[in-house]
Amino acid sequence: MGRILTLARNDAHRILSEMGFETQMTVTKGDLSVTVNGLTPVHHIAFNTEGVPVNSKDVRVSVSETALTEKGFTTRNTKGEVYMREVLVSFADSTGTVKAYIVNENYADESLGVIVLILGKYAE
């Protein structure tokens, strides 16, 4: 692995975990719950196929795969692919109210070790 790629991975982990914009979140699968930091943007606007703004809640989190695996959280399936569908993610909003979401989709940047989770509404 190249020196610059190693630096980029370390920077990505640090930016997601400890640079001041991170949010503490709990990630739960079965009986295992871990607490990690990540970025948690929530937006209330999206665009339809014609490019027109529509009211829609869009919740995504970006987290370092290393942060999860260091705490014993398995991020990959038996084929070695990142698979976190149906995992629960909860974090506090700007008012301190904790909301829980379920992972609908996951996308991994396997060069940097960053996982983006697309979240959906979770009814407890």
> pLDDT tens digits for 60-107?
899 999 999 999 999 999 999 999 998 999 999 889 999 999 999 999
Alpha helices in 19-95 (DSSP H): 65-69
Domain boundaries, the chain: 3-121
* pLDDT tier at 1, thresholds 50, 70, 90: low
Please tell me which residue, 121 or 69, carries the higher pLDDT value.
Answer: 69
Cα(87)–Cα(99) distance, rounded to whole angstroms? 14
Q: Tell me the pLDDT of the chain averaged across its residues.
A: 88
Class of domain 3-121: mainly beta
Instruction: Return the top range by mean pLDDT from 44-48, 52-56, 99-103, 118-122.
Output: 99-103
